[in-house]
Structure 1
């Protein structure tokens, strides 16, 4: 029987649903209270007594209350007022906060349509010790809004190549939780795990990552001090380049685990490696740094098999050795880089780097990118600076009258940059950055030489005096 009555009530409601009837009053409880007061002042009669009895019944009061709530559309529960916020709130305080949920400027209970709740990773207070914190340097850019695989785009953490991230959780094999170091926002977000990103890169396999670098025909002045120039490659150099290419294709760089570091007074300065495409101005930047403070900066002395000139001094311009001795050192892997020019050998040895670092000065080297790996050790802690050319439009403006030494295959002693040189510089720069970018700690765009020099000098001052980040493997040797 009750089920039948309920069904009849439901049918009656459906009948009047389309008519959308409006209530005559929105406060029948108030009207009932006013009526009860007036009846108490009247002369008692059986009708008055019965009406007062009915108005006092809980069932009638509940019916009137429901009527008023429906007529006023107060479907949300009546919560106590929100307490005022304190003047000071601890950022990392674990607490429960009462909030009001709204959608389109309306309370959530009054909103229409579907409502989706998203769970955002929160912060977790941990003991402030270095042992339980993991920091990584991102070696790629990531935008969660452009990632179709992320479970919730709003829960993702956007970061850029070079950002230092603190890993909060690695419990999930696919999505880690992390926050940007020194970010005012302590909220953790989702980032791709190392395994996930490695799978993505392996499937994409951009062809430019595995193409050998194109050698430029034009090289800058400074043949004596630098071997970043076109030359006849020896068999060992070609083999080393092939090994580097295979190594790059097997080991994908996603995150580099790092830790904070500040040089102690008794420690040697970090080795500074400058690299970039030929013609971009690496050698000139090194020369300006050396001239700006010869007591603070130093360079290595290269080796050569050519004859010593009258004005040259042994161990100053070059170390002069015989061809037999030079070839022997090549076979013993003592040279970081070497080449042949006009029948003479030129090279930079690992011992010469150690001697320069031992002088308690900042040793400056301009090298080809493939040399960096041999120096990327805890012994030297190299700070690698990649000097990048500006856009080709800016190259045409800033270097339209600049001259460089011509290569050995050309007849003229000097030449002006050509359009092909600019294209080669841009192409080579992109290839270097794609293949060796994980080693670059600083990127400088050399649009204006004076500006680039100031930026480089300021950065070197920072790493000498301030806390910065180094690979954690350098501290565990």
Structure 2
């Protein structure tokens, strides 16, 4: 606020010049005597220097002036003329009520009726009586000092859970607060702590009740909820929030989980959701929020150890022969992609048109337990674009989408030049159509794990090397790949950072109509043929199995019903990948 009145230094205190002059003389004399005091007391030079600067500072001189002025006013006998301003005000107000229809009287009566004016009179009386301290009532003599203290907490709960879970302490036979959910009503109050024993809820005695009964009772109340608690002995104080982000690799609904302490306190999520882990103090039940969710209240999710234990105890999909590796790969053959997993290089046995074995083993698939993946935010680097990987069942249209995407901008997209051991044809160029190498050279590279996938077709080896993919990435172009889903575990590395898009088929009716409309064909024994109903149904079944086994690798799912719409969706996703930040595995970002 601008000040328009002229101000003088120390004008508020009206300083006495004679007193100020004497103060300055006293300080100067004290500073001058420091040398003699140092000699008598054998003080250090740095201590005397510090004291000299301290006495000469403006702050200490101002403090002395304030002290002198306060001391001079303290000697005066100041006091209020009355300590009953409230009663006087009531008398005046009653007198004014008798004088009606007078503007100035009405205005004064309106002022005196305001609560602020009445509070001012009340404060005046308190100050006049020097009634400053709160009154503490003494305990009756018969109260046992060893008796437990009780705290009464009032929480405003607006159509939301209390934000705390309850458990029974079998040792004490009591109900206790098991955990406080961050951001919930109990956490916001700051008055409820883990270990507090619950005695009453809104006047209802809950001692001896089951925890579920108390939860149901709390669910009935909306608005203020009064809790009577015995405080916990060991209050851990304020706990800091974790900054960890995890990507969920499975779907979770707390109301379908029979072992969750309180389903209402759980957090539901879907595969691919990024979760902010708020607390991992309980190794079995973590507290988390969905990234970007405006709701600040955290919810319970199963911890990694608990979820792994649940997967181990009941994994029907892995024990079901319909989802075994042999059955899965048998149904996914018939295209230029890996057909089965094998650490051996086939030499003598000829295969059908099913090539590209992946350099992994069966144990990895059967023993992998999928829970969470730690992620960090990654900002795109235009000089090193992320490869676009299209996966899906045979015949779903991955290669057609790849062709259309690449033809839309040949300067932006590029595919990997594969390796082969077959002879070069007259019209082919080495390094453009294929990298033509000897069988011994390629087998050596396979054994050294230099190929993402490989296989044999008509007596010749074919494969895609890791170095070829990195070469495209380092060139600044977007590498577009259509590998088998098994190759994802070999592609998903920090130096490649692929963006995986699953091309899924639509419903059977839409799939059949669109393929008939486009006169779609697939190759069987080198002969193009239309799809049969059985093959279309197998495509849908295979897609479901792929999603179950490899869905945690998918960054995006695009349904290829109408090819025109699918290519628009694909182009839009690819554009966002090159511009917007994404959550990637933490070790990828740190690479």
* TM-score relative to the length of structure 1: 0.68
Task: Measure how far apart 1:157 and its partner are.
Answer: 0.8
Task: Measure how far apart 1:403 and its partner are.
Answer: 3.5
Give the number of the structure whose alpha-carbon radius of gyration is greater.
2
Q: How does 1:324-335 map to 2 (within 5 A)?
A: 324-335=440-451
Aligned to 1:182: 292
Aligned to 2:218: 117
Q: 1:161 aligns with which of 271, 286, 296?
A: 271
Q: 1:312 aligns with which of 402, 411, 428?
A: 428
Q: 2:578 aligns with which of 440, 447, 464?
A: 464
Report the Cα distance in structure 1 between the residues aligned to 2:448 and 2:422, rounded to whole angstroms. 21
Task: Measure how far apart 1:142 and its partner are.
Answer: 1.1
3-state SS in 2 of match to 1:259: strand
The 8 Å contact of residues 184 and 297 in structure 2, kept in 1 or not, is answered as no
Q: 2:329 aligns with which of 214, 217, 229?
A: 214
3-state SS in 2 of match to 1:278: coil
The 8 Å contact of residues 275 and 387 in structure 1, kept in 2 or not, is answered as yes
CA 1:140/1:271 → structure 2, altered by over 3 Å: closer, same or farther?
same
Report the Cα distance in structure 2 between the residues aligned to 1:384 and 1:339, rounded to whole angstroms. 22
The 8 Å contact of residues 342 and 358 in structure 2, kept in 1 or not, is answered as no
For structure 1, which segment, 391-400 or 185-194, has the greater mean C-alpha deviation from structure 2 after superposition?
391-400
3-state SS in 1 of match to 2:534: helix
The 8 Å contact of residues 422 and 460 in structure 2, kept in 1 or not, is answered as yes
The 8 Å contact of residues 339 and 356 in structure 2, kept in 1 or not, is answered as no
Report the Cα distance in structure 1 between the residues aligned to 2:430 and 2:359, rounded to whole angstroms. 36
Q: 2:337 aligns with which of 198, 216, 228?
A: 228
Aligned to 1:284: 400
The 8 Å contact of residues 330 and 339 in structure 2, kept in 1 or not, is answered as yes
Q: 1:268 aligns with which of 384, 393, 397?
A: 384
What stretches of structure 2 of length at least 5 have no aligned partner? 1-155, 157-182, 192-200, 205-212, 220-224, 226-237, 347-354
Q: 1:341 aligns with which of 457, 465, 468?
A: 457
CA 1:359/1:367 → structure 2, altered by over 3 Å: closer, same or farther?
same
Report the Cα distance in structure 2 between the residues aligned to 1:443 and 1:323, rounded to whole angstroms. 38
* Residue 585 (structure 2) pairs with residue 476 (structure 1): no
Report the Cα distance in structure 1 between the residues aligned to 2:287 and 2:579, rounded to whole angstroms. 32
CA 1:180/1:317 → structure 2, altered by over 3 Å: closer, same or farther?
same
Q: How does 1:67-146 map to 2 (within 5 A)?
A: 96=189, 116-117=217-218, 132-146=242-256
Task: Measure how far apart 1:257 and its partner are.
Answer: 0.7
Task: Measure how far apart 1:323 and its partner are.
Answer: 3.2
The 8 Å contact of residues 144 and 157 in structure 1, kept in 2 or not, is answered as yes
* Residue 531 (structure 2) pairs with residue 417 (structure 1): yes
What stretches of structure 1 of length at least 5 have no aligned partner? 1-81, 83-90, 99-106, 221-226
3-state SS in 1 of match to 2:329: coil
The 8 Å contact of residues 258 and 472 in structure 1, kept in 2 or not, is answered as yes
3-state SS in 1 of match to 2:550: helix
The 8 Å contact of residues 209 and 434 in structure 1, kept in 2 or not, is answered as no
Q: 1:255 aligns with which of 358, 361, 372?
A: 372
CA 1:144/1:240 → structure 2, altered by over 3 Å: closer, same or farther?
same
Task: Measure how far apart 1:335 and its partner are.
Answer: 2.1
CA deviation string 1:173-195 (max 9, x = no partner):
22111010101111101111111
Task: Measure how far apart 1:302 and its partner are.
Answer: 1.0
Task: Measure how far apart 1:269 and its partner are.
Answer: 0.9
3-state SS in 1 of match to 2:524: coil
CA deviation string 1:199-237 (max 9, x = no partner):
2121221225543323458756xxxxxx32769978348
Report the Cα distance in structure 2 between the residues aligned to 1:230 and 1:147, rounded to whole angstroms. 37
CA 1:439/1:332 → structure 2, altered by over 3 Å: closer, same or farther?
same
Report the Cα distance in structure 2 between the residues aligned to 1:133 and 1:240, rounded to whole angstroms. 40
Aligned to 1:436: 550
The 8 Å contact of residues 210 and 435 in structure 1, kept in 2 or not, is answered as no
* TM-score relative to the length of structure 2: 0.56
Q: How does 1:192-207 map to 2 (within 5 A)?
A: 192-205=302-315, 206=317, 207=320
* Residue 491 (structure 2) pairs with residue 375 (structure 1): yes
CA deviation string 1:52-102 (max 9, x = no partner):
xxxxxxxxxxxxxxxxxxxxxxxxxxxxxx9xxxxxxxx99986599xxxx
The 8 Å contact of residues 210 and 245 in structure 1, kept in 2 or not, is answered as no
Aligned to 1:45: none
CA deviation string 1:430-474 (max 9, x = no partner):
222222222111111111212111112111211211121000011
Task: Measure how far apart 1:328 and its partner are.
Answer: 3.5
Higher relative contact order (CA 8 A, sep 6+): 1
3-state SS in 1 of match to 2:218: coil
Task: Measure how far apart 1:331 and its partner are.
Answer: 3.4
The 8 Å contact of residues 169 and 178 in structure 1, kept in 2 or not, is answered as yes
The 8 Å contact of residues 345 and 443 in structure 2, kept in 1 or not, is answered as no
Report the Cα distance in structure 2 between the residues aligned to 1:283 and 1:313, rounded to whole angstroms. 22
The 8 Å contact of residues 358 and 454 in structure 2, kept in 1 or not, is answered as no
CA deviation string 1:416-438 (max 9, x = no partner):
00122112212221222222222
Report the Cα distance in structure 2 between the residues aligned to 1:184 and 1:305, rounded to whole angstroms. 57
Report the Cα distance in structure 2 between the residues aligned to 1:329 and 1:254, rounded to whole angstroms. 34
